[in-house]
Amino acid sequence: MGKLDGRVALITGGARGQGRSHALAFAREGADIVMCDLVEGIDTIPCKMPDADDLADSVKQVEALDRRALGIKADVRDSLQLAGVVEQALATFGHIDILIANAGVVTPVPFVDISDEDWSVMLDINLGGVFKAIRAVAPHMIERGYGRIVATSSMVGRSPVGMLAHYVAAKWGVIGLVKSAAQELAPHGITVNAICPTNVNTDMIHANPAMYKVFAPDIENPTWEDVIPAFTSMNAIPVPLVDPSDISEGMLYYVSEGARYVTGETLSIAAGWNARNTA
Ligand SMILES: NC(=O)c1ccc[n+]([C@@H]2O[C@H](COP(=O)([O-])OP(=O)(O)OC[C@H]3O[C@@H](n4cnc5c(N)ncnc54)[C@H](O)[C@@H]3O)[C@@H](O)[C@H]2O)c1
């Protein structure tokens, strides 16, 4: 028997990376899965983005675990598209128990060079997308008197770093949003929490040349080997990255019955980066 038998989870940004890992972790515990993803490039983000085949692969991998899955192209910036995702999920599965607001983008830009468009894209996806996803599922969860919502913030949502002011602002915002939603939704049996990962081994780090460059500005085309020491130095436990599955473990805790009285909380899964923060 799985810990999530009979549950249905909606995961934003499920075409790859952490979103796919959460989908598979939940499916292994018995949940059916709805994933939405933009599956297209974004002008201001020089990262190779996933395509429709990647989203279809996520669906196939969930189905290979004998769970049902839906993969829907949708942009978390678009309330109408999110309403469509919720509608399709309810038409297929009848209910949504879990929302993982995971979709996000990042790219480093010096503070004074952040354009209005850079700012809007970063805030609209990483903060606005979390708000809109929660708002899209909350009425249904309120009606049922049950819900588990987890948003992905970041360690830089708790401790700032340079070159990422727009991303940092969005990720700090996610924690405030989660705490606020937690208070309002608590009387309806809904918990709302955040996870703050350190750097995670996904394409967000590896498929955007600007991410290595920020740690090795003097090298023309830095390789992963060039930047391992800099990445490692951010964590107290000396690893450069954690795995998506490490973040999924935290997600599984937050959506479990054992966490029924945990809400408005922020969990760092950060190889001890957080040990440097104030309490
Ligand atoms: N990788 C890291 O080091 C790291 C660290 C801390 C926090 N995070 C956060 O973790 C989350 C997952 O990132 P990841 O590491 O899996 O990266 P990733 O790039 O592999 O996955 C992000 C997913 O979000 C999707 N997405 C982006 N914009 C979208 C939009 N407008 N609408 C719908 N989907 C959209 C992408 O297509 C992609 O599938 C993000 O919120 C990210 O900011 C990542």
Please list, in sequence order, all residues whose beta carbon lies within 8 angstroms of the beta carbon of residue 38, skipping any fewer than 6 positions away.
13, 49, 73, 74, 75, 76, 103
- Please check whether residue 238 is in contact with residue 123, taking contact to mean a CB–CB distance below 8 angstroms: no
Overall domain count for the chain: 1
Q: Give residue 5's pLDDT.
A: 98
| Ligand 1 lined by 246 (C-beta under 6 Å) | no
Residue 225 lies in a domain: no
- CA max distance for the chain: 56
Mean pLDDT of the chain: 98
Question: What is the pLDDT confidence band of residue 9, given thresholds at 50, 70 and 90?
Answer: very high
Residue 70 lies in a domain: yes
Report how far ligand 1's centroid is from the alpha carbon of 114 (Å).
20
* Terminal C-alpha separation, the chain: 38
| Ligand 1 lined by 128 (C-beta under 6 Å) | no
Please list, in sequence order, all residues whose beta carbon lies within 8 angstroms of the beta carbon of residue 113, skipping any fewer than 6 positions away.
none
Report how far ligand 1's centroid is from the alpha carbon of 37 (Å).
10
Q: What is the mean pLDDT of residues 19-24?
A: 99
| Ligand 1 lined by 202 (C-beta under 6 Å) | yes
Give helix 17-28 / helix 244-255 axis angle, nearest 10°: 50
Distance CA(221)–CA(214), nearest Å, equals: 11
Q: Give residue 279's pLDDT.
A: 82
Distance CA(188)–CA(217), nearest Å, equals: 50
Q: What is the mean pLDDT of residues 25-30?
A: 98
Atom of ligand 1 nearest to the CA of 19: 16
Residue 230 lies in a domain: no
Atom of ligand 1 nearest to the CA of 20: 16
Distance CA(263)–CA(134), nearest Å, equals: 14
The residue among 122, 120, 138 whose CA lies nearest residue 82 is 138
Residue 227 lies in a domain: no
Q: Give residue 156's pLDDT.
A: 97
What does the pLDDT look like over 63-103, one tens digit per residue?
A: 999 999 999 999 999 999 999 999 999 999 999 999 999 99
Range of the domain at 184: 8-208+244-274
Distance CA(26)–CA(61), nearest Å, equals: 12
Residue 215 lies in a domain: no
DSSP 80-127: HHHHHHHHHHHHHHS---EEEE---------GGG--HHHHHHHHIIII
Is residue 212 among the annotated active site residues?
A: no
CATH number at residue 139: 3.40.50.720
Distance CA(55)–CA(77), nearest Å, equals: 18
**Predicted structure pTM score:** 0.99
User: What are 216's two structure tokens?
Assistant: 């090795």
Query: Within its chain, how far is the Cα of 40 from the centroid?
Result: 17
What does the pLDDT look like over 212-238, one tens digit per residue?
A: 999 999 999 999 999 999 999 999 999
Residue 229 lies in a domain: no
Q: Give residue 91's pLDDT.
A: 98
The residue among 160, 142, 137, 125 whose CA lies nearest residue 86 is 137
Question: What is the pLDDT confidence band of residue 206, given thresholds at 50, 70 and 90?
Answer: very high
Residue 83 lies in a domain: yes
What does the pLDDT look like over 106-156, one tens digit per residue?
A: 999 999 999 999 999 999 999 999 999 999 999 999 999 999 999 999 999
Distance CA(141)–CA(189), nearest Å, equals: 8
Distance CA(182)–CA(186), nearest Å, equals: 6
Q: Is the pLDDT of residue 278 over 90?
A: no
The residue among 254, 215, 244 whose CA lies nearest residue 98 is 254
| Ligand 1 lined by 204 (C-beta under 6 Å) | yes
Residue 38 lies in a domain: yes
